[in-house]
């Protein structure tokens, strides 16, 4: 007998069949918990942007850089191959500057875009690409050309 809270209780003995049913139920519950755990881990990992889409590129000239000499090209280096579908250049008056040449939009991890001759001033670059999984990725960066006096 087991006493709990002042009232005597009898211990219940389980037969072999009942023990088997209890063990089976416990194992099923553990299996369900394992499935839920794996699903939660998968959702957390899948939600990480590193696994979902390409990240933004490393660009040259670097965002916010101040250059003594105007660049001749814009360089984009992506961690994964993307199709760079649009690149637009704007001056400090927010007027768009036409970029020379045609664009190759085949998938590549590095792309260089020729620039026209640029004078002193601030420039803003808008870009858009399609990642390998077909999702659009876009961004912008800026730089300043400030020749030394």
Q: What is the pLDDT of residues 66-114, one digit of tens each?
A: 999 999 999 999 999 999 999 999 999 999 999 998 888 899 999 999 9
pLDDT above 60: residue 54: no
Is residue 3 within 8 Å of 9, Cβ to Cβ?
yes
pLDDT above 80: residue 42: no
Quick check: pTM over 0.85? no
Q: What does the pLDDT read at residue 52?
A: 47
**Strand residue runs (E) in 10-107:** 58-60, 65-67, 73-90, 96-97
Q: What is the pLDDT of residues 4-16, one digit of tens each?
A: 666 666 767 777 7
As a whole number of angstroms, the distance between CA 45 and CA 135 comes to 18
* Mean pLDDT calculated for residue range 131-142: 92
Show the 3-state SS of 83-116: EEEEEEEECCCCCEECCCCCCCCCCEEEEEEECC
Task: Give the closest residue to 91 by CA, choosing from 69, 115, 111.
Answer: 115
């Amino acid at each position: 007998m087991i006493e709990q809270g002042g009232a005597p209780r009898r211990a219940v003995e389980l037969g072999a069949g009942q023990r088997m049913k209890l063990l089976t139920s416990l194992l099923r519950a553990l299996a369900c918990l394992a499935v839920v755990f794996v699903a939660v881990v998968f959702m957390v990992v899948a939600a990480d942007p590193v696994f979902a889409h390409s990240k933004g590129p490393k660009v040259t000239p670097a965002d916010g850089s101040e250059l003594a000499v105007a660049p001749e090209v814009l360089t984009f280096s992506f961690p994964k191959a993307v199709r760079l579908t649009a690149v637009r250049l704007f001056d400090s008056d927010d007027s768009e500057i036409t970029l020379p040449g045609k664009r190759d939009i085949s998938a590549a991890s590095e792309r260089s875009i020729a620039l026209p001759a640029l004078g002193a001033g601030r420039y803003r670059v808008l870009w858009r690409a399609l990642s390998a999984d077909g999702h659009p990725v876009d961004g912008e960066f800026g730089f300043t050309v400030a020749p030394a006096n």
